[in-house]
């Protein structure tokens, strides 16, 4: 791997898990952002790293397809949005990754898959097999059938779980918040930015390729 291409956190990393949130994938100008993200991931792959993408956005894309201005309160409607939106989300990824000659594989899971030892091992085997085949696994919660996932509404924890499961060297959490803070910066103006955490692999936002 040409280490000069990357930030120090990525230099020499063999497996990288990247999580991206719904706002990044659906807000105005999202296609340019996703295209840039895919390019960065393919640069990493070209340099020898194995990459797993944990992606939110299915419900938001489904809402857009159905012309909904705000997230529906009813769980069944959110599940319908997820079912419609997941196809659109993967279609977008397929188009952009194809431009770099990269295969992708969809992995949808619920928290039960992480709680059950048998299903956890099956999931782990699937991820490693996809990586061995040279594909980029794209992981998302299966919101079309999982109620608990919708109510939790956050893939940050899922991303961390996938990083552990895949023995990742680095976990990158891409978000519309400008990094890690000691308090919620949206609610407290005194919140201080934490550029790095020596107790884990948390780093401030951005791949930096």
Domain boundaries, the chain: 3-194
| Residue 10, phi then psi, degrees to nearest 5 | -100, -15
Q: What is the pLDDT of residue 147?
A: 58
CA distance linking residue 145 with residue 76, whole number of Å? 9
Q: What is the pLDDT of residue 209?
A: 29
Contact 181, 188 (CB under 8 A): no
Q: What is the pLDDT of residue 152?
A: 45
For residue 205 the two structure tokens come to 């936002």
How open is the CA angle 145-137-146, to the nearest 5 degrees? 10
Q: Supply the DSSP string of 159-193, one letter for each residue.
A: HHHHHHHTT-SEEEEE-SS-SEESS-TTT-TT--E
Residues with Cβ within 8 Å of residue 60, at least 6 apart in sequence: 22, 25, 26, 81, 85
CA distance linking residue 141 with residue 85, whole number of Å? 12
Domain 3-194 has CATH 3.40.1160.10: yes
pLDDT tens for the chain, 209 residues: list them. 444 445 676 777 899 999 998 777 777 778 888 999 999 999 999 989 999 999 988 888 899 999 998 999 898 999 999 999 999 999 999 999 999 999 999 999 888 888 889 999 999 999 999 999 999 999 998 876 665 654 445 678 888 889 999 999 988 888 777 777 888 887 888 988 887 765 544 443 333 32
Q: What is the pTM (predicted TM-score) of this model?
A: 0.82
Q: What is the pLDDT of residue 185?
A: 84
For residue 193 the two structure tokens come to 């930015």
Beta strands at 193-194 and 180-181: parallel, antiparallel or unpaired: antiparallel
CA distance linking residue 50 with residue 40, whole number of Å? 13
How open is the CA angle 116-117-121, to the nearest 5 degrees? 115
CA distance linking residue 18 with residue 171, whole number of Å? 6
């Amino acid at each position: 791997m040409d280490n000069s291409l990357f930030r120090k956190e990525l230099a020499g990393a063999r497996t990288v898990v990247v999580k991206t949130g719904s706002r990044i994938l659906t807000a105005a100008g999202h296609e340019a952002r996703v295209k840039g993200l895919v390019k960065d991931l393919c640069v990493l792959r070209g340099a020898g790293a194995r990459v797993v993408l944990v992606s939110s956005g299915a419900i938001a894309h489904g809402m857009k397809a159905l012309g909904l201005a705000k997230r529906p309160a009813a769980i069944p409607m959110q599940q319908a949005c997820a079912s419609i939106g997941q196809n659109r989300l993967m279609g977008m990824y397929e188009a952009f990754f194809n431009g770099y000659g990269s295969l992708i594989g969809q992995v949808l899971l619920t928290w039960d898959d992480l709680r059950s030892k048998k299903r956890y091992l099956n999931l782990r085997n699937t991820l490693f097999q996809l990586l061995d085949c040279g594909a980029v696994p794209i992981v998302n919660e299966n919101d079309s059938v999982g109620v608990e996932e919708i109510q939790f509404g956050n893939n940050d924890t899922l991303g961390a779980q996938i990083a552990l499961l895949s023995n990742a060297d680095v976990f990158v959490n891409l978000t519309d918040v400008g990094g890690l803070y000691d308090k919620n910066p949206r609610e407290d103006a005194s919140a201080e930015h934490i550029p790095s955490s020596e107790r884990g692999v948390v780093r401030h936002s951005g791949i930096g390729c």
